[in-house]
Amino acid sequence: MDDLATVTRPVEPAVTTQPGRRHLSRLVVVVGYVLPVLLGWLMLGGDLERTQIGFLVIAMMLSLLFLKVPIAAAMGLSGLLGIWGIRSFDTAAAAVKNLPYTNAASWSLSVLPAFIFMGVILWRSGATARIYGSAKMWLSWLPGGLAIGTNVAGAGLGSVSGSTIGVSYSLGRIGIPEMLRAGYDRRLAIGSVMMAGTAANLIPPSIMMVLFAGIATVPVGPQLLAGLIPGLMLPVAYSIVILVLYPVLTRRKTVAADEVIESSEVTLVDRLRSLPPLWPFPLLFLVVVGGLFGGVFTPTEAGAAGALTALAAALVISKRGDRLKMVVTAATEAVASTGAIFMLIIGAVILNQALTLTGITQDMIRGIEGLGLSFWPFIALLIAIYLILGMFMDPLMMMLITVPLIVPILPEYGLSVMWLGVFVVLVAEIGLVTPPVGMLTYIMHKLAQKEEVNLGQRITLGDTFQAVLWFMPATVVVVIVIAGFPDIVHWLPDISSSK
């Protein structure tokens, strides 16, 4: 996954030889560095109302993000200075002392390391290629079968991974060249791979669902089960889009017989033979989801059982000489990812505490309630808010900031916190591919620049964004369906024994 690190590093601006632009760039840099200092001075030294301090807190956080300060540090520092400005230094020091532990030491979040480890070690073991190969064999007879198979494989990988970026990146290395060899339009190829990972954050074990449960203080088990049916609806919706687009976009090319599997070359025996190597996936699904549904495991126990099962499966699948390195690498990545997530949570908690003290949180809640919106305008407002925020914020950051604001309003519209969890994660998935931030879009575009992936075809950032626009309406349709029929979300948790 070294390629991911290169994508997420700040990109150095190109040096221009034009004096006017050079001076403007220097001015922007100077203002960028001076602005946070000025805002901090105003918060601590100015005679300001609480609401004014609240807006300064938000402005300072955004200015720090502009300077590419880590998100957790930007939120935490802005919130800390806001608390200091409203109350006192002692209150801010007490917040730093107490808030991180009281919010990070959450039983709901204890399952995170196990879920992350489960996905990483299976990816390291090479299980990704197995599930993609099988899906390709079974669905290659359909128009756009390779792209549809990619979506199905994404749902399957989501059942053990819980990471949208991880699933899409893994499938992209295999799926994009396969589709290009078969004559697929480059935009359809990269679009189907990007969207294939979106179900991962809904299908258990979902990391985002666990985080939502921790933020909203709701039971983890039912929240995980709530995402299963909406998560399965996504690949169905995307497959319909592919069936419509494929005849219009695809121009069949003449390729060597050994380069692509045509549906006529795949026998029923071949398809059946592709199933036994997939045994880790149904086994893990049975252990984690079956254990939760039947009330056999608590979420933390399900995570531990799933991690142990994934470890055993990975040891069986992998080569003997690679096993120790694989386990150490997976454990290291899981610890690093868990630490980064908890730092984000701590920073967001401090920021939300500051905004609560300023009264902005309560004012926003009263403002939304004062609009007197009926159900569907309220849903449209929520979708618009998350689409706009998704252009500039990471999905986890969106969730950390907005969930405490929206939860108090839900009873007025007959909606549950469990429903909000599915809704927020689903709309946040759109944010992952929405420009100008759209982290997944840039990651997949970077991947598509590798010659072994693009096979010599030029795939531009514009191609990637156009592919997003083709698939985004299908995601919005799924959002509208679960809003109109919330029982889709509640059915599995209601009939399960999970607590």
Dump the DSSP string for 403-419: HHHHGGGGGGGT--HHH
Is pLDDT above 50 for 260? Answer: no
- Label residue 162 by pLDDT band (50, 70, 90): low
Confidence of residue 253 (pLDDT cuts 50, 70, 90): very low
Of the candidates 314, 340, 345, 467, the residue with the CA atom closest to the CA atom of residue 5? 340
Task: Give the model's pLDDT for residue 127.
Answer: 74
Long-range contacts of 153-157 (CB under 8 A, 24+ apart): 153/196, 154/195, 154/196, 154/197, 154/198, 154/199, 154/200, 154/235, 155/196, 155/199, 155/203, 155/231, 155/232, 155/234, 155/235, 156/131, 156/278, 156/281, 157/128, 157/131, 157/197, 157/200
Residue range 463-492, pLDDT digits in tens: 888 888 899 889 989 999 999 999 999 999
**Average pLDDT, integer, range 239-246:** 90
Q: Residue 10: which pLDDT band, with cuts at 50, 70 and 90? A: very low
Statement: residue 242 has pLDDT above 60: yes
Summarize pLDDT for 353-368 with one digit per residue, the tens: 888 788 776 777 777 7
pLDDT at 88: 81
Mean pLDDT over each residue of the chain, to the nearest integer: 79
The predicted pLDDT at position 481 comes to 94
Mean pLDDT of 434-440: 69
Task: Average the pLDDT over 203-225 and give the result.
Answer: 85
| Whole-structure pTM value | 0.74
What per-residue confidence (pLDDT) applies to 462? 85
Region class of 250: left (phi > 0), else alpha (psi between -120 and 50), else beta: beta
Is the pLDDT score of 388 beyond 80? no
Identify the pLDDT of residue 8. 36
What's the pLDDT score for residue 409? 87
**pLDDT > 90 fraction of the chain, expressed in percent and rounded:** 8
What per-residue confidence (pLDDT) applies to 6? 37
Q: Which pLDDT belongs to residue 158?
A: 73
Q: For residue 7, what pLDDT is reported?
A: 36
Instruction: Please indicate whether residue 258 or residue 49 has the higher confidence score (pLDDT).
Output: 49
- Is the pLDDT at 422 greater than 90, yes or no? yes
User: Residue 262: which of 149, 193, 151, 182 has the closest Cα?
Assistant: 182
26 confidence band (pLDDT: 50, 70, 90): low
Distance (Å, whole) CA 294 – CA 268: 35
Q: What is the pLDDT of residues 297-311, one digit of tens each?
A: 888 888 888 889 989
Integer CA distances (angstroms), 478 to 201, 304, 423, 429, in order: 15, 32, 10, 12
The answer, yes or no, to whether residue 97 has pLDDT greater than 50, is: yes
Report the pLDDT value the prediction gives residue 436, as an integer from 0 to 100: 62
pLDDT tens digits, one per residue of 32-91: 566 666 677 666 766 777 778 888 888 888 888 777 788 788 888 888 888 888 888 888
Ranges 133-147, 161-175, 293-307: which has the least confidence = 161-175
- Is the predicted pLDDT of residue 240 greater than 90, yes or no? yes
Question: What is the distance between the alpha carbons of residues 365 and 351, in angstroms, rounded to a whole number?
Answer: 17
